[in-house]
Every structure is written in C-alpha cells, then in structure tokens.
Structure 1
C-alpha cells in the first residue's frame, strides 16, 4: 500500500539517468508514490550541475556512467552545495572503485540496475528517512573493504608531507596516478581501467586538488616527493 503524502510536503527528487527507458521507468515509479515529487529528470552531468546550482532537492538519484562524464561529479557537487540532500546511485557498475568513490563523494545508497526488481519509491523514502538502500553484492564489497582496512583497498597516504599534513588517495586515484606517472594518456588510462575518459579526468582533478598542483608533471613530482609512487612506476612503457 502506498504511503500518504507528508504533512510538510512531498519529498522532492531529481533523477539523472541517460538511458531513456530506465529514466522513464524511474520517473513512473516516483510519480506513483504520493510522498514523492519528481522535480526534473536529466540525462547528463552538465544539465545536472546547472540545475543543482540554482535549486535544492531532497533526494538525488544518479547514474554513474553519463555521456559527458561521471555521476560522481554530480554527487560531489550536490553534497557540497546541498549537504542535506540524500544521494543514491543507480548503476550497472559494481566495481569496488566506483562504490568507494561514490560513497566518499557523498552517496548514502547504491543499487544495481540488474540486481532484480526495485521498488524505487520505497527505496527513495527509506533513503530520505536515514536508511541506506544498497544491493547485496555492493554491501559485500563495502564489508570486505572494512575488513581489509588499508592493507588492500584502503587509502594510500604520504607520511612525509610538509608541515605534518598527510595526503590521502583512494586506491583508484593511486592507480591512476601511477599510470599517468608511467606516461599513459587519459585515453590509455581509461582503456586499461575500463573507465570513461570523463571519469579518469574527474579522478585526476581530485588528485590535483589533493596535491595542490595544476599539471601532470607537478602531480608526478609532488607524488614522488611525498612517497606516493613506487620508483618502478616512473619507468616509461616498453
């Protein structure tokens, strides 16, 4: 049975999904729930960032693989500009890097499109109420990361940063940093890690921000100085 609309108004929702059929299905599921109000359904990073720049929303439902970049950019922007917004990822990507990066950017829920039937209205209301809707396979990955700690999938950090400050990189960021230090182009990195070029560029921007640099050469130099690179990673490709 569907719930009644909330006394203080419906929960507003923004959907960002580029697949037409999936976007339509999500919108229909949201519109069926009286407690939810669909504000917009967008299909790319740029339109989502422009929309969020001017309007708040209670719940953001976002795909990661978008035609002009990564949904993680949208998550990060939304979490920064609208900290009270609850964010849920809906995607086909179950790799641990995407999961961890999404959670670190600000997502509280993560469901897979192919994980079986999803009551999207119920999931979004659970998210808004403080829950964390998450597909079982994703939950296992998060638990595995917690068990392994920093030994296998945790942050890579530099102990010798100036002023006693430490720089923390996710494992994905550390891998990309090693590859660009080796001399790989963004396209080569994307191909090797099975990511979009936009996603690689997002990670590199985050690396630059963390290292306080503005170029590949400066990033490699600073990362090496801080102990974030292995010497053999600096060798050119054969």
Structure 2
C-alpha cells in the first residue's frame, strides 16, 4: 500500500513538531514537508502534491484559508484538514467554503490525529464535536411562533424588540414609529414583564427563542 503523503503548515513550533512526529511514526504515512508561514506553505504546495494538507488558520504572514483555496483550485487530489484554535462560525464557514473537508480544534485529543487523517482520506469529514454542533444549530430551522406565543407580545411590543435587535436605540425607534420615547419605554417594560426578563439583551434572546423576533 502506498503511504499517505502529508504536508503540515503550522506556525507554532511545538504543535508543528508534535504533528510531524505523529505522522512520521504512522506506518502508512509519509511526512512530505512542513512550513511555518503562508509563503513557505504556498511554495511547498507548488512543489509537493500531498494526499493531505494539515493547516492552521492563524499564520503570522496571512490566513491559512489562502492555502485551502490554493489546494482546492490547484490540487484537487489533496484533502484539507484545518487544525486550529479558532472555533467561531466565521472561521469555520470561511474554511469550509474555501474547500476544507475536515476541521479540528487544537484541544482535540492529539493522539487521535493520525486516525482522523485516515478517516479524512477515506472520504470522511472529521470535525470536532463542538464545531459539528455549531453547524447543526446553524442549519436548524427557526422556531415558528405558536398562537400562544404570538399573543404573548402585542404587535407594537414585537416591533420595538425587533428594531432593538437590529441595533436601533430607543430614541431612534421612537422617531421611526412616530411615537414618544415614553411610549417606547412603556412597550419595553411590558415586554420585560411578559418575558420575565430584566434587560434588553435578555428580552431579545427570549423573543428569538420563541420566534417572535427575527434579525
């Protein structure tokens, strides 16, 4: 069986050494090269056509997403696995949209990395559980308000909360609705009481959960 060739682009020397050692010790893998920054990574990929690219996102000279795009555009046979500390939605979605097929956080079990590489090459998409949950929540349908939920807040109260969720302050909302600030505050206080909350942030959160407010 031909060994899987792996390239690692990671700026942190400790992680780069640890990942390199794991790959080098795997009997079915061959470490084809390592790089510490974006230019080195691009240069390496122009000379090596690895089966798997392990790439960090926070490189000192640019984003690893550029390497993901390069691999996607020029190395269609290469599978890309992100290994990073960034677990927020913008980084995850940008990586997947660029062409990554695996996404692991650096708090994942290090000893599982080799198995994750094998799974990636076998057609799987290894993703840290916290990232998978985030993606599932993003794709979940928005809750539909029931008749009881609709009746919980008046149309005016829902309108004020909707505008608040969009970032408008109470003075701006009063002008937009052509009412006094006192009237707006009355709607706000009623909303707080009905939703059993004590702040605008809590009110918006609860209203979103009930499907009463959408951005």
- TM-score bracket for this pair, using the shorter chain length: 0.5 to 0.7
Structure 1 length-normalised TM:
0.58
Runs of 4+ with deviation above 2 angstroms? 115-118
Q: Which has the larger radius of gyration?
A: 2
Aligned CA-pair RMSD: 1.3
* 1:30 maps to 2:28: no
**Residues 34 and 87 of structure 1: CA distance in aligned 2, closer, same or farther (over 3 Å):** same
Query: What are the ranges of 5 or more consecutive residues in structure 1 without an aligned counterpart?
Result: 1-6, 150-238
Corresponding position of 2:123: 130
> What secondary structure, in the 3-state scheme, does the structure 2 residue paired with 1:130 have?
coil
* 1:51 maps to 2:52: no
Distance in 2 between the 1:66 and 1:142 partners? 24
Contact 1:17 1:44 in 2 (8 A): yes
Contact 1:63 1:90 in 2 (8 A): yes
Corresponding position of 1:13: 6
Contact 2:32 2:48 in 1 (8 A): no
Query: What are the ranges of 5 or more consecutive residues in structure 2 without an aligned counterpart?
Result: 143-215
Contact 2:35 2:44 in 1 (8 A): no
Give the counterpart of 1:88 among 81, 84, 87: 81
Whose helix proportion is higher, 1 or 2?
2
Corresponding position of 2:179: none
Structure 2 length-normalised TM:
0.64
Contact 1:17 1:43 in 2 (8 A): yes
Distance in 2 between the 1:55 and 1:114 partners? 29
